[in-house]
Structure 1
């Protein structure tokens, strides 16, 4: 068994034990997958606005801590775990966009419909629209939703997404194309 398959087996074994309450197991899992998580976060942060307050490292740590500190979670596979990581990153970035939008409007300021948004501000609002549309897509097709989360929020390419979801690259491309078209329609 090569090193990659051995690492995958170790990760799967840790995840399917359904007991990450032990700090030693959490550290063991993080050591095995940190590079993959950091790469996912870095690819995503490269697409965010330049003045974003989160770094890729902070995004990884926040997403990871949110996942392992929840009780009663059952991981079926590495695929399931990475889909959850992508969802966690999505939620963190959405919360950040909402907080930024809230600050732009002012805590108790009078609100108007005449917002003059710069490009960076519109990214936050687009992120919120994407989140709403993605939530709708998730209720219609979870696989397409997972593809979008991994491609958009985690920054994985087609091959990496296919590997994470245990699908063929062709299937991922098909889901990615359909999901993008559907999301664009919903966001307009």
Structure 2
């Protein structure tokens, strides 16, 4: 895998194709994990999210891939951005949508309050990044990237104990912040 990552910027389409084959399952797994946190009926599928992230990663010309964990961390960031942009576009569509009068029939079809809005989580994470950038990166790698503690610690160059401390602080801070919103 590392040999393919080292040559991904060679411009050889076969290298990119082989890398995609090797990492496709993991990209789909990460996409499924991210979409699991979304509302039911999301218009993006795990396949579409994985492919969109891959297309954006393929455009990266200055990134030197260190290893699989580095690639997947950047992929998770891409997926997060795609989902946030998608959520913002849907919000804009809703603002521009035709108002529907509330009747007993439409009230019965309403499914209740949606889950935590991804945009709220994204904004809270951005605010937390100003407080503790490293711990915010831990959240991004663990929550959005689906990396295990050991992988995230290695990628950040910190000890496992430090990562666990950062993760606990970040979760507490974000929980408090999101409860206020």
Structure 2: state its 5+ residue gaps.
100-111
CA contact (8 A) 2:138 2:152 kept: no
CA contact (8 A) 2:73 2:145 kept: no
Distance 2:14 2:130 in 1: 36
CA displacement, residues 134-168 of structure 1 (integer Å, 9 cap, x when unaligned): 22333444432232123322345xxx242254266
Which residue matches 1:19? Answer: 9
| Aligned 1:102-141 pairs, distance under 5 A | 102-106=92-96, 119-120=113-114, 123=116, 126-141=117-132
CA contact (8 A) 2:8 2:15 kept: no
CA positional deviation for 1:173: 3.1
Which residue matches 1:176? Answer: 167
CA contact (8 A) 2:84 2:118 kept: yes
Q: Give yes or no for the alignment of 1:53 onto 2:47.
A: no
Count residues with an aligned counterpart: 165
Say if 1:63 and 1:165 are closer, same or farther in 2 by CA, change over 3 A: farther
TM-score, normalised to structure 2, is 0.75
Q: Give yes or no for the alignment of 1:163 onto 2:157.
A: no
Q: CA RMSD in A?
A: 2.7
Which residue matches 2:19? Answer: 29
CA displacement, residues 3-42 of structure 1 (integer Å, 9 cap, x when unaligned): xxxxxxx2x2332346153321111111111122211111
Say if 1:16 and 1:134 are closer, same or farther in 2 by CA, change over 3 A: farther
TM-score, normalised to structure 1, is 0.73
Structure 1: state its 5+ residue gaps.
1-9, 110-117
Say if 1:37 and 1:168 are closer, same or farther in 2 by CA, change over 3 A: farther
CA contact (8 A) 1:98 1:128 kept: yes
Which residue matches 2:143? Answer: 152
